[in-house]
């Protein structure tokens, strides 16, 4: 799941007593605890559904009180902010590295070698730091979604 994706699920719940085929009223439906770094939300709506069962006299349809439960899971704000910060800092450092390289190669500016290695090491270190974050999406998730040149 990417940082800005939303997973949603809807289901209809109705309870029928098997022996008598009578509906059992549903008071509420509880969703489970949200996984780490996710925000969960759920909405319940009371509805009426037709339920058909096979009785001794043939198929019988009754109207049954049911509930529709709509659940959504999305990454927490902190997780989205951290992912975007890492993404933007990584691109800023990449741009800085390219700029320094262009200055050194084309303008023949004399610079200290440490200045050249600093941005490169940071750009190579950020993906490793990102992997350490719990529930982090796989590397390369934005490859193919952001393009500099039109294809």
Domains of the chain by residue range? 6-75, 77-132
43, 104, 117, 120, 139 from 113: Cα distances, Å: 59, 10, 7, 11, 29
pLDDT digits (tens, 9 = 90+) for 108-125: 777 776 666 776 777 677
Q: Looking at residue 50, what is its pLDDT?
A: 84
Cα–Cα distances in Å, from 64 out to 25, 51, 53, 67, 119?
Answer: 9, 7, 12, 10, 65
pTM metric for this prediction: 0.52
Q: What is the pLDDT of residue 20?
A: 79
Q: Which residues contact 25 (CB under 8 A, 6 or more apart)?
A: 15, 65
CB 47 within 8 A of CB 66: yes
The dihedral sign for the CA sequence 70, 75, 76, 77: negative
The rounded Cα 149 to chain-centroid distance in angstroms is 27
Cβ neighbours of 67 (radius 10 Å): 19
Residue 149 pLDDT exceeds 70: no
pLDDT recorded at residue 151: 46
């Amino acid at each position: 799941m990417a940082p800005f994706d939303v997973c949603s699920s809807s289901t209809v719940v109705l309870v029928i007593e098997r022996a008598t085929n009578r509906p059992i009223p549903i008071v509420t439906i509880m969703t489970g605890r949200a996984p780490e770094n996710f925000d969960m939300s759920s909405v319940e709506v009371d509805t009426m559904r037709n339920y058909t069962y096979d009785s001794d006299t043939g198929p019988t349809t009754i109207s049954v009180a049911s509930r529709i439960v709509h659940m959504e899971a999305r990454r927490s704000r902190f997780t989205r902010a951290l992912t975007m910060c890492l993404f933007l800092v990584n691109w800023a450092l990449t741009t800085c590295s390219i700029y320094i390289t262009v200055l050194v190669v084309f303008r023949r500016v004399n610079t200290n070698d440490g200045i050249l290695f600093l941005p490169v090491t940071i750009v190579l270190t950020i993906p490793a730091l990102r992997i350490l974050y719990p529930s982090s999406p796989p590397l390369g998730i934005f490859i193919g979604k952001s393009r500099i040149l039109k294809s």
